[in-house]
Amino acid sequence: AAFGKQHPTVAICLNNLAQLLRHTNRIEEAEPLMRRALEIDEAAFGEQHPNVVRDLNNLAMLLKNTAHRTEAESLVRRALKICESAFDKKHPTVAICLNNLATLLQDTNPSEEAEPLMRRALEIDEAAFGKQHPTVAIDLNNLATLLQDTNRHEEAEPLIRRSLDILDSFRRQTGHEHPHFQQVNENYQILQRAMGSNEPD
C-alpha cells in the first residue's frame, strides 16, 4: 500500500466511497466509512482543524434523516464553530455550515433559528460569488422553501423566481441544465399551487 491506514488520503477515499453509498441510499454502509474518515483526519490534523469540517458536515448530512438527528446537529454546530475560528466569518465554507445547520433546524425551529442562518448564508455567498451564481440560487431556494413551509408564500415567490432565473441563465451560458434546476422548478410549481389555493373564491 502506498499510504498507511491512518493517512489523510485514505480519509478522502473513504469519504468518496461513503458519498456514493449515500446517494444509492446505503446509509448503514456509508456511516462507518464516514466515521473512520473523521477519526483519521482528527488524528492527522487535530480536532479543531478546518480539514475536519468536511468530515463533520458529511457525517451530519448522512445522519440527518436517521435516529441520530441530535448527533447530526451537534456535528454541524462543531463544524460551524471551527469554520468561524479558522476563517473569516464571511468565508463560503461558513455559509455551507450555516445552511447545513439551518436544514437540520428547519423542521423543529424554522423561523427563530433556521431562517436567520439561511439569510446569513445567502449574504455570505452573494458577497463571495456574486448575485447571479448558482450557489446563490440554491441558497434562495432553501430560504424560499422554509418560507413556504411557514405559509409565507408571498415572501417566498420572488426568491424562488430569482433562483430559477439564475439557473436558467446558467443553462444558457453553459448549454447544460444545472443539477438543481428540476428541484427548484418543482418547488416553484408547488408554491404556485399553494398560492392559487389561498386565493379567495
3-state secondary structure 7-68: CHHHHHHHHHHHHHHHHCCCHHHHHHHHHHHHHHHHHHHCCCCCHHHHHHHHHHHHHCCCCC
Q: What is the pLDDT of residue 199?
A: 55
HSE-CB for 24 with a 13 A CA cutoff = 8
Q: Which CATH class is domain 1-86?
A: mainly alpha
For 84, the grid coordinates are 468561524
Q: Which of 132, 165, 162 lies closest to 147 in space, CA to CA?
A: 162
In the block, which residue shows the cell 447544460?
A: 176
Q: What is the pLDDT of residue 201?
A: 43
Q: Which helix (H) or strand (E) holds 1?
A: none
Residue type at 141?
N
What number does CATH give the domain 95-201? Answer: 1.25.40.10
pLDDT band at 101, cuts 50/70/90?
very high
Q: What is the pLDDT of residue 198?
A: 61
Cβ-contact 184, 141 below 8 angstroms: yes
Over residues 173-177, mean pLDDT:
95
pLDDT band at 4, cuts 50/70/90?
low
pLDDT band at 3, cuts 50/70/90?
low
Over residues 146-169, mean pLDDT:
96
Report the predicted TM-score, pTM, of the whole model to 2 decimal places. Answer: 0.86
* Residue ranges of the chain assigned to CATH 1.25.40.10: 1-86, 95-201
pLDDT band at 193, cuts 50/70/90?
very high
Q: What is the pLDDT of residue 88?
A: 85
What whole-number distance in Å separates Cα of residue 124 and Cα of residue 143? 14
Indicate whether 200 pLDDT > 70.
Answer: no
